[in-house]
Amino acid sequence: MNDTRILFIVPPYVGYDSFMKPAFNDGVMKKKSGEYRNIVSDIPIGPLSLSAYVKKYADVEVRLIDFNVVIHKLEFFGYKSFSEMFNEILSGKEFVDYDPSIICVSTLFTPAYRNMIDLGRVIRNLFPSAFITAGGGVPTNMHRHIFAESDCFDALCYGEGEKPLLGYIQASDKRGFLEAHPAWITKEKSASMQLFQFDFVENLDDIPFLDYGIISIQDYRINSILSTYPFAKGKTHSMPIMASRGCTHHCCFCSSHTVHGRKMRYHSVSRVREDFERFKEQYETETIVFFDDHFMADRRRFFELIDVMNGLGLTAFFPSSLALYALDRKALAALKSVGLNQIVLSIESGSDRVLKEVMHKPLNLSIVNRVITDCRELGLDTDANILIGLPGETKRDIEDARAFLKTVNATWFRINIATPLVGSEMFATCVENDYLKGNYIDCDYKRAIVGTPEFTPEWLQEKVYAMNLELNFVCNSDVRLGNYAKALQGFENAIRVKRDHALAYYYAAVCYEKLCEADKADEYLATARAIVARDEFWRHYADTFNVPI
């Protein structure tokens, strides 16, 4: 057996309580034991990149377990905690016999913080001699919290981990290496308030084709991010890629720069072409899902990659969205040429003041109207992301945004609650002004925890949900424009995610009536009325918007 045996662990992306008790605005997954909060499971490209890189330069053995996939594959969930699940699975013969010498917990976002801490305790007990570390946005930005709460981690990685992990593997004096290296965070260095530095792979082509051999690709087709976008080609075989790293923007709500930096680094176009060819040959890939933070940073490169995809017969999807200011008619036509049928637009706000003065986002509302109009004319569905509830935003700003967005003909809106991500300017502002009114560690874009002199979390929670209902159902742009079949797709997807969505049933009934399917219209209208009759929650919103149910 190899002396260096690495185990990568991906913890659940949501907390146990949130998983067990979905909120009213959460999607759910069904098991024989009940309904639970849905968890999107996408291929963890970070650990796969680290595995490919260290295997290139060192003789190591690598395995990976993704607990998001584990949870999805369970027919019955009977664990009293995620810790119980971690312990049962990791104490199994497969992992005990493997006896990893290095265990790396990949922790990107704060909702996985508690799971990371619990995993540290479980794996320290099971594998007491292993070197235990964690990497991603949480360890980078929360190392003092982690070391204050847990003695189970030997060190944490600052920023990207390819070079730091390889250096540790190759070091003869491992403790000395950890103390000297600027991207390794030890408890002592963290306590001394030492400043840490990135150790990036500057030429991304130095990272080999990702190590997909340590996972089962089919496991990640259970519930990928594509499934959450109803107008995307979600049923095609897809593969993820980050063709670049870094972002030059300074949006106040983002913390990506704390891991990948602000300087752009790229894979060469020829290397990306090689990856695409392997995707097609080995995995029958049809759709490339780009997770780049700023895919449009280099305009010439953008068109070159479009040409590559056209040549290979591939389509694309961009869940991280594309910079609107770069989406002129030529760029949109290029995206359409590769078969893209839905584009995610990070509009973020319908207020010019908020975009400029609060978010620091390089965008104005005239660009929004132009891009969405062009998309309509080109036959591109648009999924518009909006954030509400930032420090510095006023109720008047939110009303201005609401009024503007009602005039925008986006196919669908995602009105999200602004979340104070650790490492972001927004988080620092909230801490400085005592605006955090709830548990920021477990928060996500659906739960309000920020309170300012302008609004309370409770007011914000209600406002965001009401705006979602108003923009997507009451004032749905495709209904307004007479595109009833397209509108029906969105309503049916809402019903699939939330089976008691009275407004989705009502407006689906309207569409069926317009499409001359009277029986379906009657069925859906009857269902809407039954839900409203028994559920005060939906009665409230039907009355609020004067919906005649």
In the chain, the largest separation of any two C-alpha atoms, in whole Å, equals 76
User: Which 3 state secondary structure label does DSSP give 311?
Assistant: helix
Q: Which of 160, 46, 65 is nearest to 103 (CA)?
A: 65
Residue-by-residue DSSP string for 364-418: -HHHHHHHHHHHHHHT-EEEEEEEE--TT--HHHHHHHHHHHTT---SEEEEEE-
The DSSP symbol for 358 reads I
pLDDT of residue 228: 77
pLDDT of residue 444: 81
Kindly give, in sequence order, each residue whose CB lies less than 8 Å from that of residue 503, ignoring residues fewer than 6 positions away: 469, 473, 474, 528, 538, 541, 542, 545, 547
φ and ψ of 254, to 5 deg: -105, 145
Q: Assign domain 224-475 to a CATH class.
A: alpha beta
Sign of the CA dihedral running 316, 321, 325, 326: negative
Structural contact between residues 466 and 541, judged by C-beta atoms closer than 8 angstroms: yes
How deeply is 61 buried, as exposed, middle or buried, from its count of CB atoms within 10 A (0-12, 13-18, 19+)?
middle
Beta strands at 61-66 and 34-37: parallel, antiparallel or unpaired: unpaired
Structural contact between residues 106 and 8, judged by C-beta atoms closer than 8 angstroms: yes
Two structure tokens written together for 198: 């990135």
Q: Assign domain 482-549 to a CATH class.
A: mainly alpha
Cα-to-chain-centroid distance, residue 77: 24
Two structure tokens written together for 544: 């609020």
Write a three-state SS string for 205-232.
HHCCCCCHHHCCHHHHHCCCHHHHCCCC
Q: Which of 170, 125, 175, 179 is nearest to 152 (CA)?
A: 125
CATH T-level topology, domain 5-191: Rossmann fold (3.40.50)
| Helix H or strand E segment including 288 | strand 287-290
For the chain, give every domain's residue range.
5-191, 224-475, 482-549
pLDDT of residue 424: 96
Kindly give, in sequence order, each residue whose CB lies less than 8 Å from that of residue 9, ignoring residues fewer than 6 positions away: 64, 65, 67, 103, 104, 105, 106, 119, 123
Two structure tokens written together for 32: 């024989």
Alpha-carbon span 475 to 469, nearest angstrom: 8
Structural contact between residues 503 and 477, judged by C-beta atoms closer than 8 angstroms: no
Two structure tokens written together for 34: 């009940």
Query: Which pLDDT tens digit goes with each residue over 53-94?
Result: 999 999 999 999 999 999 999 999 999 999 999 999 999 999
Structural contact between residues 8 and 62, judged by C-beta atoms closer than 8 angstroms: yes
- Overall pTM > 0.85: yes
Rounded (10°) CA dihedral 28, 33, 34, 35: -10
How many CB atoms lie under 10 A from the CB of residue 62? Answer: 23
User: Which 3 state secondary structure label does DSSP give 156?
Assistant: strand
Alpha-carbon span 1 to 96, nearest angstrom: 13
pLDDT of residue 28: 85
Two structure tokens written together for 234: 């979600």
Residue-by-residue DSSP string for 86-109: HHHHHTSHHHHHH--SEEEEE--S
Alpha-carbon span 409 to 471, nearest angstrom: 10
Alpha-carbon span 359 to 365, nearest angstrom: 14
Alpha-carbon span 400 to 385, nearest angstrom: 16
Beta strands at 184-185 and 155-157: parallel, antiparallel or unpaired: antiparallel
Two structure tokens written together for 264: 């752009």
Q: Which of 141, 159, 144, 119 is nearest to 12 (CA)?
A: 119
Structural contact between residues 506 and 547, judged by C-beta atoms closer than 8 angstroms: yes
Structural contact between residues 506 and 524, judged by C-beta atoms closer than 8 angstroms: yes
Two structure tokens written together for 215: 């996972």
Two structure tokens written together for 325: 């200011």
| Helix ranges, 150-289 (H) | 162-170, 174-180, 187-191, 257-260, 269-283
Those residues of the chain that have pLDDT short of 50 are: none
pLDDT of residue 233: 56
Beta strands at 61-66 and 102-106: parallel, antiparallel or unpaired: unpaired
Identify the bridge partners of residue 155 per DSSP, sorted by sequence position.
133
| Helix ranges, 222-359 (H) | 257-260, 269-283, 299-312, 329-337, 352-353
User: Which 3 state secondary structure label does DSSP give 416?
Assistant: strand
Structural contact between residues 312 and 293, judged by C-beta atoms closer than 8 angstroms: no
pLDDT of residue 1: 64
- Sequence length of the chain is 549
Query: Which pLDDT tens digit goes with each residue over 419-468?
Result: 999 999 999 999 999 999 988 887 788 889 999 999 999 999 999 999 99
